[in-house]
């Protein structure tokens, strides 16, 4: 049994913390919204949550908040503890958090996740981890409770780099799939026929086979639930913006990533707010060629 502090008990953090409790760990939590999780002892502050723990896990909205929270919790950290940040943030903020932890003699891992709310609840998340071998080894048993797969991607910031690249691919591929279904409709091609071809041909990808944006086609997805978010469009936009920030910082050419960012920005500014990112399909269907 480990003593674990968990800061950020939102849609993702709460079920992750709950799974740690179910596995027999002693979990203390804190969230600025004052939410509670069954089996989690609630602390009065982030610093209190970090004090005396074997591991401290954070799941936070952005890099600025991560830096602020780390400035508060790192001084309270127990010698030898591992700090695990599961937020999706910019690479510079992830590395800054690592530096704060290192300066205090703490181990640290940046470990953003893939798998959404459903994966958090089921304990099947994929963790993309960056940090030293020692820090990763200490964090791994906790990843195995909360997830189904963990990849050690490299040193500090490598987990965030992997997440940003992965989600840039996802955003681009979902737009391509939505464009194909919208075009098929106008050509009079049956959606099921398109799925049957693409899902077993060279156009096959996760956005078709697992998360098809067309209702009633393929495995159940948010499209079959009125596009209620499994992965919200505004979160996709956040990740695409992070990809472009990273690309600019290293002078990498990402023209498709840039265009995907623009399209999701347009979508979220309109009817896409609060919708799943696959609702790009009805959004595109309402537009002509331009």
Residues acting as catalytic residues: 163
Q: For the range 282-287, what are the long-range contacts, defined as Cβ-Cβ under 8 Å and sequence gap of 24 or more?
A: 282/227, 283/178, 284/175, 284/178, 284/179, 284/182, 285/182, 285/185
CB-based contacts of 33: which residues, under 8 Å, 6+ apart?
9, 10
Whole-Å CA distances, 202 to 47, 199, 274: 51, 8, 32
For the chain, give me the number of helices (H) and strands (E)? 12, 9
CB-based contacts of 159: which residues, under 8 Å, 6+ apart?
94, 109, 110, 111, 112, 127, 128, 129, 130, 131, 153
């Amino acid at each position: 049994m480990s003593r674990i502090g968990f800061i950020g008990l939102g849609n993702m953090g709460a079920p992750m913390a709950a799974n740690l409790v179910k596995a027999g760990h002693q979990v203390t939590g804190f969230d600025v919204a004052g939410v509670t999780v069954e089996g989690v002892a609630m602390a009065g502050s982030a610093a209190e949550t970090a004090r005396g723990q074997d591991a401290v896990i954070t799941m936070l909205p952005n890099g600025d908040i991560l830096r602020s929270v780390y400035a508060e919790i790192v001084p309270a950290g127990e010698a030898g503890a591992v700090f695990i940040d599961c937020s999706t943030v910019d690479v510079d903020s992830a590395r800054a958090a690592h530096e704060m932890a290192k300066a205090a003699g703490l181990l640290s891992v940046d470990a953003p996740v893939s798998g959404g709310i459903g994966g958090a609840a089921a304990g099947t998340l994929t963790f993309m981890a960056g940090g030293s071998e020692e820090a990763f080894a200490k964090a791994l048993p906790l990843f195995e409770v909360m997830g189904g797969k963990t990849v050690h991607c490299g040193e500090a910031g490598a987990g965030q780099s992997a997440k940003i690249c992965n989600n840039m691919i996802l955003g681009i591929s979902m737009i391509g799939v939505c464009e194909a279904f919208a075009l098929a409709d106008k050509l009079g091609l049956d959606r099921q026929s398109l799925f049957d071809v693409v899902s077993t041909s060279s156009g096959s990808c996760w956005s078709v086979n697992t998360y098809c944006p067309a209702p009633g086609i393929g495995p159940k997805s948010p499209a079959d639930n009125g596009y209620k978010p499994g992965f919200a469009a505004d979160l996709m936009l956040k990740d695409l913006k992070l990809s472009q920030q990273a690309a600019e910082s290293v002078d990498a050419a990402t023209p498709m990533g840039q265009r995907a960012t623009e399209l999701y920005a347009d979508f979220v500014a309109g009817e896409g707010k609060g919708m799943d990112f696959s609702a790009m399909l009805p959004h595109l269907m309402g537009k002509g060629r331009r």
